[in-house]
Amino acid sequence: MKTSATAKFVGTSARKTGLVAALIRGRRALDAQVILINTEKRASGPVGKVLASAIANAENNHNAKAANLQVESVLIGPGPTLKRSRPRAKGSASAIRKRSSHITVIVTDTIAIAANSAKVKATSQVGAGSVTAPTEKKGSVRRQEVAVPAAAEVTSESKITKKEAK
């Protein structure tokens, strides 16, 4: 089960928040919380709160256990920029941009992932020696199965020229 939590209008730029988000992508949720607690960046606080909220959402809404959760993705987007000015010499002013960001954390249950991957493997087994290759059709792309000889059958004598293929 995918569960998400979002914080909007966080008062840290998306660039700085993205550095903290990169630390926890793909990790187990409880390990990610420990990493954020020990990270000395200002953005680790809001990202930690959103992660805690996503874990709580998974526990309450989907009856998942925190020990089985994994951080699937952390999305950081830019929020609105507040434009301010600072007085400078000779009566001029320079612009100050106070940037904000939106943070979304998506966690998944690792047990559910394992069960789904087992189902996908069982249903998606294609016969040996066949590969899907794209065939072009006007306006769309279709996939068609093409037989491929096994590696032991391919020899230098069995190469096909362009004229023979037509």
The residue among 115, 108, 48, 44 whose CA lies nearest residue 72 is 108
Whole-number pLDDT of residue 111? 78
DSSP count for the chain of H helices, then E strands: 5, 7
pTM above 0.85, yes or no: no
Fold classification of 2-86+95-121 is Ribosomal Protein L22; Chain A (3.90.470)
> What was the pLDDT predicted at 8?
97
Q: What is d(CA 117, CA 52) in angstroms, rounded to the nearest whole number?
A: 27
* Pairwise CA distance, residues 121 & 136, whole Å: 28
What does each of the 166 residues of the chain score in pLDDT, given as a tens digit? 899 999 999 999 999 999 999 999 999 999 999 999 999 999 999 999 999 999 999 999 999 999 999 999 999 999 999 999 999 999 999 999 999 999 999 999 987 766 776 666 666 655 555 555 555 555 555 555 555 555 544 444 545 555 555 5
> Contact 45/33 with Cβ under 8 angstroms?
no
pLDDT (0 to 100) of residue 110: 84
Specify the pLDDT at position 154. Answer: 47
**pLDDT value, residue 1:** 86
